[in-house]
Chain A
Amino acid sequence: MAFEIISISSSLTQKQAVAEIEKCNEYTINYGLTLTHLDAVELVETRDLALKGTGRIEFGGGVIEKIIKEFCISPYISKHNYAETLHELTEIFYFYKNETLDLMSDDDLIKFMKDSFDGLCQGSLELLAGRELFNMARNLRYGYAPDYLDDMSDDEGDEDGEY
């Protein structure tokens, strides 16, 4: 009789999310990008795993659709890496939703991801997740603007010898 929010809601939203993703093909076909039904199902599964891993819950679809519509125009995405990139972007999105303490809206986070991916990261998902989003999330947590730049990141990098 207990209200298991996660199990009830995920079964409710799964079909709806797959349908929404498939519907995006009508838009992305203009850029030569499409997803099969299996791709869409797998993408929703990735979303569910990402939500579970980050301790989050989503009632409607929507986010993957927004990611698809934002990223399909990226010069770094082609039909060869389209589905794979979407999987990674979905995971990164939910991870940084938590890391930014929900201080950033879905739209702003996706926009930031897209600008960084096409700009400084030049299509590298490692740089996007490991540097740009990391710095942005830290800035937000410390009360700075998302794109705030200071010497701290350089210092940290030098100490760790990472950059």
Chain B
Amino acid sequence: MANIEKRRIINRNNLSGQDYFTSILQEAYACGLFSNSDVESIQLQCIKFLASKCEKYNCGESSSIRVEIAESIMRSNLYTIGLYLKSLPDADVAAAVLKKAKIPELYQKGRELINEKLDTAKKTYKKVLENKLITLHYSYNTTLDDSGIGTFLKLYDPDYQSHESPAVIDYQLCNPVIDLAGVEYIEKYLENLFFENEFCRFFSADDIHYLLCGYNEEYQELLINIFEQVFTAALGCCFANRSVVKLDISKEEIEHLYNEFSKDDHHLLALKIQKGTGQMLEELNVTSDLFRGYVEKSLPKITSNILQAVKTNTLDKTFLVPINPDLKPKIRFISGAKMDDKDYRKIIDEMLICRYSSDKLVLINDKIKSFGDLEDILFDAELSEEEINSVFDILGDMEFAALIKRHSYISDIQAVDLSEAEQTFRRYLKNYIDHLEVDRQEKIFEIVNQLIDD
């Protein structure tokens, strides 16, 4: 009998988490809990309350206010009241309270709740900073530092903009926070991030780095979720009977897993994944129910990724093979000592008065002995595209690789900070490389990837 749920008039599925106040007003009206005069009375109270808030906002110095500011204050008021209504046992109770109580009283209660939530968010932020991962992932780091959540906690205005999130929160969670705003959003975001960090801390920072390099060596710039990759890799290790904490799985093992999984139907595979997750959590010695709850909440997404990968035969893109980029062969390129400035100026003067391109080319061939000087000449000698192409003709793959590494072509928008000469040179270089044979292009770009500039 204890499981029998009380019958409710307002359907909670129709209520919005972000605009709780407005949605409850609409639902209560639609269900006949509120009459026209009830709604009008609430609206009127809200306007009067807005008037008093606007007066406070203007410090009593101005009787008028810009419409967009008034609207924002109104949204903030409604958000704050909605926060209190949300804290009541259910929507029917909330509607009854809304009908009876005065708007300023409800606002005051909501405002106290905001303070409590803000305190909780600050404490959780501190805890998240304590269990922060050591990673090169850019959006993870910026979201957690002063320019991200730190900014939110500094700039959040509970009186006039309680519904806003004044921060750039780019890092994507495995379980994204949806249908929440303001302090509620940040509180939930931090809570989820804390659990994700807790999970990732079972693994060493290096292992996570190698795993993410297996995803993409430029993973630092990508908007990926670290927890999702680590969780999936740990699950893969569990299936392959490897140590979970090392996150190390080979290509052959992934192939074997694919052969095994492709025999199972979706339902069976989903069950296997669930069982595997249980084993993995046991191996990691996870006991906290809250923590387990978060992992289980993430499971549908991970399961769907694996099912899709099995279906499309791309399991090697889901279970990642770690790569240690430091073990890849490297080529150190040393450009050599530059010539004396006086001699360099002499060559430039000579080149500028040369009538024929062939003479300039002879000068470069005879007098330029280091890569650094060659680079300078290409910029300073006011060479045409044809002349630069002639210089390119005498360069080897290594020199091209070094030039690409230093002057790689970027789009016009990204190149705004570059000088015009630099932009032109990069364009000429790209044009020349594009016209080379594909085999040679591949060879050059392979060298570019291995090159360490001095």
Contact = CB atoms under 8 A, between A and B. Distances in A.
A146 to B, nearest CB: 15
Nearest to B25: A1
A43 to B, nearest CB: 15
B43 A102 contact: no
A125 interface: no
Interface in B48-96: 50-51, 54-55, 58, 61-68, 70-71, 74, 78
B95 to A, nearest CB: 14
DSSP class of B's interface residues: helix, strand, loop or mixed?
helix
B61 A55 contact: no
B67 A56 contact: yes
B284 interface: no
A162 to B, nearest CB: 29
Assign chain B's interface to a size class.
Answer: 20 to 34
B29 interface: yes
Given A3-B43, A5-B71, A56 B66 contact: yes
Contacts of A8: 43-44, 47
A51 B46 CA distance: 21
Interface stretch (A58-66, A74-82, A112-120): A58-66
A105 interface: yes
B441 interface: no
A106 interface: yes
Pairs of residues from A and B, 5 with the lowest C-beta to C-beta distance, nearest first? A105-B61, A59-B51, A58-B64, A62-B63, A56-B64
B375 to A, nearest CB: 46
Contacts of B47: 3, 5, 8-9, 12, 59
Question: Which one of B44, B67, B74 has the highest number of Cβ atoms from chain A below 10 Å of its Cβ?
Answer: B67
A107 B60 CA distance: 11
A19 to B, nearest CB: 16
B103 to A, nearest CB: 12
Contacts, number: 69
Interface of A: 1-3, 5-6, 8-9, 12, 51, 55-63, 94, 97-98, 102, 105-107
Nearest to B63: A62
A64 to B, nearest CB: 10
Nearest to A6: B67
A1 B29 contact: yes
B225 interface: no
B172 interface: no
7 contacts: A1-B39, A3-B74, A6-B67, A8-B44, A12-B44, A55-B66, A59-B55
Contacts of B54: 59
Given A8-B44, A59-B54, A60-B51, A97 B64 contact: yes
A144 to B, nearest CB: 20
A2 B71 CA distance: 12
A59 to B, nearest CB: 4
Contacts of A56: 64-67
